[in-house]
């Protein structure tokens, strides 16, 4: 979680996004249907500019790396020139977010996260993602509708935990949340069709879009497994030799009637130079998950989730899903003129809830309060425990613990431990927290994917992570002297 000047109560998307939607249907719409003006260009530009600031706030702001920003912009501007709307002023932004995502807003705003950039293997793959997003802009895909859908999806308020079914429904499938939705399958296909065309015109091999999709799929499967989704374990194939998603791109390529690009641009060396050293995973400025611990060096606090809970760090919330349908949400709210934590719970946080056991407590030197309530969401009953901690004169930190009633007694003590694990940290403790970075590594004699990945810090599945980052098949040995991406501290 990060703290901007304005604290928004929104559920930020957390993890493992499937950006292209993996549509498999083929639309036979003629191209003349794709460019109808739904709203004026001036309106598009206005909507885009309005949403741009919100997107920056939701996704950790622009990633502070001018060289990488200029590189992504140059690729994007080059591709945009080949589009049907070369006069649109395109703005390309690398977002400081570890999740893997890319999306576009009306008016030519195109975003890729640094998590996505790290996953790409070369310039052509990155260009493939950007070209697809330019396709959405060029085809003017439901500009208004999309921005509304996006805001609705982002706007899951914390107060809404007690009332909003989407919130808990979302919790049930952490790891596969797709927040920026709103495109139909036909639109995804159109964006593919346009994207491969731009790639080809710009001198890239359109197949790069397919190879990136394969990585993306493997990546989202791995995140899903880490998030504790057992179904994905069965289907996990790191990098399938013939992924279905690649098929989708090949169909677009043949539908677009593209001839093979001679000597296509791959741009692997320059790409690796640009991404060497970029942040990987959480930014300490936004707090870091280390095993069961969430530690925020900038705001100087930490807490520990119960065993077997998987912590996910969003922009404005930290969420952890545990066994038995149990979950916790950690976030903050402004104190404003409410002084006492118990007044805050009763009057501000949950004024409409039938609170039980409201009491003031002390948590490692902080004034705090707790209460329980019940909630029914999506026909499912939950016992809810609320904890508000007065961290300083500005902020309440809040825990929301959720359990289906049969599991409540089992988690009473673990949730209590988590509550009392909250404490401030010293400057020295804060300085010991070091971010992970992407590093380009030249394979030395005798090194293997296993030996290199064993050195990756803080990774539950280091070998799988390494293979996905490098788009490698498990049986594809590394060659001495080749350049690979790995993760270092
Ligand atoms: Zn798309």
Model confidence band, residue 27 (pLDDT cutoffs 50, 70, 90): very low
CATH of the domain at 467: 3.10.350
| Same-domain status, 344 and 443 | no
The answer to whether position 390 is within a domain reads: yes
Least confident of 195-204, 215-224, 276-285, 382-391: 215-224
| Same-domain status, 420 and 469 | no
Torsion on CA atoms 169, 333, 102, 280, rounded to nearest 10: -110
Say how many Å lie between the CA of residue 102 and the centre of ligand 1. Answer: 8
Q: In what order do the strands lie in the sheet with 91-95?
A: 91-95, 109-113, 102-105
Say how many Å lie between the CA of residue 40 and the centre of ligand 1. Answer: 22
Say how many Å lie between the CA of residue 23 and the centre of ligand 1. Answer: 9
| Same-domain status, 328 and 455 | no
Say how many Å lie between the CA of residue 93 and the centre of ligand 1. Answer: 16
Say how many Å lie between the CA of residue 190 and the centre of ligand 1. Answer: 9
Taking each helix axis as running N to C, give the angle between helix 268-275 and helix 123-138, from 0 to 180 degrees, rounded to the nearest 10.
Answer: 90
Say how many Å lie between the CA of residue 1 and the centre of ligand 1. Answer: 27
Say how many Å lie between the CA of residue 138 and the centre of ligand 1. Answer: 12
Say how many Å lie between the CA of residue 276 and the centre of ligand 1. Answer: 27
Model confidence band, residue 306 (pLDDT cutoffs 50, 70, 90): very high
Say how many Å lie between the CA of residue 240 and the centre of ligand 1. Answer: 22
| Same-domain status, 240 and 288 | no
pLDDT in tens, 214-257: 888 788 778 777 766 655 555 555 454 445 566 777 788 888 78
Say how many Å lie between the CA of residue 130 and the centre of ligand 1. Answer: 10
Tokens 């499967």 identify what position?
221
**CB distance 257 to 204 below 8 Å:** no
From 278, 298, 323, give the residue that closes a domain: 278
Say how many Å lie between the CA of residue 423 and the centre of ligand 1. Answer: 42
Least confident of 194-198, 285-289, 303-307, 423-427: 285-289
β-bridge partners, 436: 280
pLDDT in tens, 46-91: 878 888 887 787 778 899 999 999 999 999 999 999 998 888 899 9
Which spans in 242-345 are helix H?
244-255, 268-275, 341-343
| Same-domain status, 170 and 188 | yes
| Same-domain status, 254 and 367 | no
| Same-domain status, 302 and 448 | no
Domain count, the chain: 3
The answer to whether position 1 is within a domain reads: no
The answer to whether position 8 is within a domain reads: no
Say how many Å lie between the CA of residue 471 and the centre of ligand 1. Answer: 21
| Same-domain status, 180 and 43 | yes
Say how many Å lie between the CA of residue 103 and the centre of ligand 1. Answer: 7
Tokens 């909507």 identify what position?
47
More confident: 398 or 42: 398
Radius of gyration of the chain from its Cα atoms, rounded to whole angstroms: 23
The residue segments making up the domain with residue 451 are 435-488
Average pLDDT of the chain to the nearest whole number = 80
Helix (H, G, I), strand (E, B) or coil at 29: coil
What average pLDDT does the segment 148-163 reach? 34
């Amino acid at each position: 979680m990060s703290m901007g000047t304005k604290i928004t109560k929104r559920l930020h998307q957390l993890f493992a996004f499937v950006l292209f939607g993996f549509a498999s249907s083929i639309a036979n719409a003629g191209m003349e249907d794709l460019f109808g003006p739904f709203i004026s260009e001036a309106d598009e530009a206005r909507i885009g500019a309005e949403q741009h600031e919100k997107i920056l706030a939701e996704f950790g702001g622009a990633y502070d790396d001018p060289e990488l920003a200029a590189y992504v912009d140059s690729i994007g501007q080059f591709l945009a020139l080949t589009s049907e709307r070369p006069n649109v002023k395109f703005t390309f932004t690398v977002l400081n977010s570890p999740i893997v995502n890319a999306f576009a807003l009306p008016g030519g705003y195109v975003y890729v996260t640094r998590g996505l950039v790290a996953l790409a293997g070369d310039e052509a793959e990155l260009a493939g993602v950007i070209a697809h997003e330019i396709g959405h802009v060029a085809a003017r895909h439901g500009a208004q509708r999309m921005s509304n859908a996006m805001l609705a999806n982002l706007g899951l308020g914390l107060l809404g935990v007690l009332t909003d079914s989407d919130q808990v429904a979302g919790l049930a499938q952490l790891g596969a949340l797709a927040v920026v939705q709103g495109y139909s399958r036909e639109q995804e296909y159109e964006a593919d069709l346009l994207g491969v065309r731009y790639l080809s015109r710009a001198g890239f091999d359109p197949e790069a879009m397919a190879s990136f999709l394969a990585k993306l799929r493997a990546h989202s499967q791995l995140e899903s497994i880490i998030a504790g989704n057992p179904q994905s374990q069965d289907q996990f194939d790191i990098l399938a030799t013939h992924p279905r998603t690649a098929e989708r791109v090949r169909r677009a390529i043949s539908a677009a009637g593209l001839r093979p690009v001679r000597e296509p641009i791959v741009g692997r060396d320059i790409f690796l130079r640009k991404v060497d050293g970029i942040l990987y995973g959480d930014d300490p400025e936004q707090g870091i998950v280390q095993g069961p611990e969430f530690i925020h060096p900038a705001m100087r606090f930490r807490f520990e989730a119960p065993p077997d809970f998987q912590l996910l760090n969003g922009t404005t919330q930290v969420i952890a899903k545990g066994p038995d349908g149990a979950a916790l949400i950690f976030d903050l709210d402004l104190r404003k003129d409410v002084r006492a934590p118990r007044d805050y719970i009763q009057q501000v946080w949950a004024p409409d809830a039938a609170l039980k056991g409201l009491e003031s407590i002390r948590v490692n030197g902080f004034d705090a309060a707790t209460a329980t309530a019940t909630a029914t969401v999506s026909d499912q009953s939950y016992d809810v425990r609320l904890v508000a901690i007065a961290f300083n004169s500005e902020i309440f930190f809040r825990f929301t613990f959720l359990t289906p009633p049969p599991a409540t007694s089992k988690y009473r003590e673990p949730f209590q431990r988590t509550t009392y694990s909250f404490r401030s940290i010293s400057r020295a403790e804060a300085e010991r927290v070091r971010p992970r970075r992407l590093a380009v590594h030249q394979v030395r004699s005798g090194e293997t994917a296993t030996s290199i990945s064993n050195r990756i810090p803080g990774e539950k599945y280091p070998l799988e992570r390494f293979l996905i980052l490098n788009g490698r098949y498990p049986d594809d040995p590394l060659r001495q002297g080749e350049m690979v991406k790995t993760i270092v501290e």
